Amino acid sequence: MGDLLLWSEALANGKVVSPESYQKMITPVQFSDSAFGPLGYGLYVKQDAYGQQIGFLGAEASFHSYLFWYPEKGLTVVLLSNTGNVDNKLMAKLQAEIPVLMP
Protein backbone atom coordinates (compact mmCIF):
# COMPACT_ATOMS: atom_id res chain seq x y z
CA MET A 1 0.00 0.00 0.00
CA GLY A 2 2.86 2.35 0.76
CA ASP A 3 4.00 2.13 -2.85
CA LEU A 4 0.62 3.34 -4.09
CA LEU A 5 0.67 6.24 -1.65
CA LEU A 6 4.15 7.22 -2.85
CA TRP A 7 2.99 6.83 -6.45
CA SER A 8 -0.02 9.14 -6.02
CA GLU A 9 2.15 11.78 -4.32
CA ALA A 10 4.84 11.56 -7.01
CA LEU A 11 2.22 11.80 -9.75
CA ALA A 12 0.57 14.87 -8.24
CA ASN A 13 3.90 16.58 -7.51
CA GLY A 14 5.39 16.50 -11.01
CA LYS A 15 7.82 13.62 -10.43
CA VAL A 16 6.17 11.25 -12.93
CA VAL A 17 4.64 13.54 -15.54
CA SER A 18 4.83 17.27 -16.10
CA PRO A 19 2.39 19.50 -14.21
CA GLU A 20 0.68 20.21 -17.55
CA SER A 21 0.21 16.50 -18.24
CA TYR A 22 -1.06 15.88 -14.73
CA GLN A 23 -3.60 18.67 -15.20
CA LYS A 24 -4.88 16.86 -18.30
CA MET A 25 -5.06 13.63 -16.31
CA ILE A 26 -7.37 15.21 -13.74
CA THR A 27 -9.50 17.28 -16.09
CA PRO A 28 -12.73 15.51 -17.13
CA VAL A 29 -12.81 14.78 -20.85
CA GLN A 30 -15.40 16.54 -22.95
CA PHE A 31 -17.14 14.25 -25.41
CA SER A 32 -18.27 15.16 -28.92
CA ASP A 33 -21.82 15.77 -27.65
CA SER A 34 -20.36 18.43 -25.27
CA ALA A 35 -21.04 16.28 -22.19
CA PHE A 36 -18.24 15.75 -19.71
CA GLY A 37 -17.28 12.25 -18.64
CA PRO A 38 -15.91 11.19 -15.27
CA LEU A 39 -12.50 10.46 -16.75
CA GLY A 40 -9.42 12.50 -17.39
CA TYR A 41 -6.46 10.97 -19.20
CA GLY A 42 -5.90 7.80 -17.18
CA LEU A 43 -7.67 8.76 -13.95
CA TYR A 44 -11.27 9.18 -12.94
CA VAL A 45 -12.32 12.51 -11.50
CA LYS A 46 -15.50 13.24 -9.63
CA GLN A 47 -16.97 15.59 -7.07
CA ASP A 48 -18.62 14.15 -4.02
CA ALA A 49 -19.69 15.49 -0.65
CA TYR A 50 -16.04 15.78 0.46
CA GLY A 51 -14.63 17.57 -2.58
CA GLN A 52 -12.78 16.51 -5.68
CA GLN A 53 -11.92 12.81 -5.73
CA ILE A 54 -9.26 11.55 -8.12
CA GLY A 55 -8.54 7.89 -8.51
CA PHE A 56 -7.80 4.73 -10.34
CA LEU A 57 -9.51 1.34 -10.20
CA GLY A 58 -7.71 -1.79 -11.27
CA ALA A 59 -9.19 -5.26 -11.57
CA GLU A 60 -8.47 -8.65 -12.98
CA ALA A 61 -9.77 -12.16 -12.33
CA SER A 62 -7.81 -12.44 -9.09
CA PHE A 63 -7.63 -8.95 -7.60
CA HIS A 64 -9.12 -5.49 -7.23
CA SER A 65 -7.25 -2.34 -6.34
CA TYR A 66 -8.63 1.08 -5.52
CA LEU A 67 -6.53 4.19 -5.20
CA PHE A 68 -8.25 7.52 -4.72
CA TRP A 69 -7.40 10.79 -3.12
CA TYR A 70 -8.88 14.10 -2.14
CA PRO A 71 -6.18 16.65 -3.01
CA GLU A 72 -7.84 19.56 -1.19
CA LYS A 73 -8.19 17.49 1.99
CA GLY A 74 -4.84 15.69 1.89
CA LEU A 75 -6.45 12.25 2.14
CA THR A 76 -5.37 9.25 0.06
CA VAL A 77 -7.14 5.89 0.33
CA VAL A 78 -5.73 2.59 -0.89
CA LEU A 79 -7.79 -0.60 -0.84
CA LEU A 80 -6.36 -3.86 -2.12
CA SER A 81 -8.25 -7.13 -2.43
CA ASN A 82 -6.90 -10.49 -3.55
CA THR A 83 -10.23 -11.61 -4.91
CA GLY A 84 -11.78 -11.02 -8.29
CA ASN A 85 -15.22 -10.67 -6.74
CA VAL A 86 -16.27 -7.09 -6.23
CA ASP A 87 -17.31 -6.58 -2.62
CA ASN A 88 -19.72 -3.65 -2.79
CA LYS A 89 -20.34 -3.87 0.95
CA LEU A 90 -16.67 -3.25 1.59
CA MET A 91 -16.64 -0.23 -0.73
CA ALA A 92 -19.81 1.12 0.90
CA LYS A 93 -18.23 0.71 4.34
CA LEU A 94 -15.09 2.47 3.16
CA GLN A 95 -17.12 5.35 1.70
CA ALA A 96 -19.00 5.66 4.98
CA GLU A 97 -15.69 6.00 6.88
CA ILE A 98 -14.32 8.83 4.73
CA PRO A 99 -15.57 11.61 7.07
CA VAL A 100 -13.74 9.92 9.94
CA LEU A 101 -10.55 9.68 7.89
CA MET A 102 -10.57 13.32 6.80
CA PRO A 103 -7.68 15.32 8.30
- What's 48's DSSP letter? E
By three-state DSSP, how is residue 78 classified? strand
Per-residue pLDDT reduced to its tens digit, 34-78: 766 777 888 989 888 889 999 988 777 777 788 889 989 989 988
Give buried/exposed letters for 16-37 (b at 16+ CB in 10 A, else e): ebeeeebeebbeeeeeeeeeee
Q: What is the mean pLDDT of residues 79-95?
A: 74
Instruction: Return mean pLDDT, the chain.
Output: 83
pTM of the model: 0.76
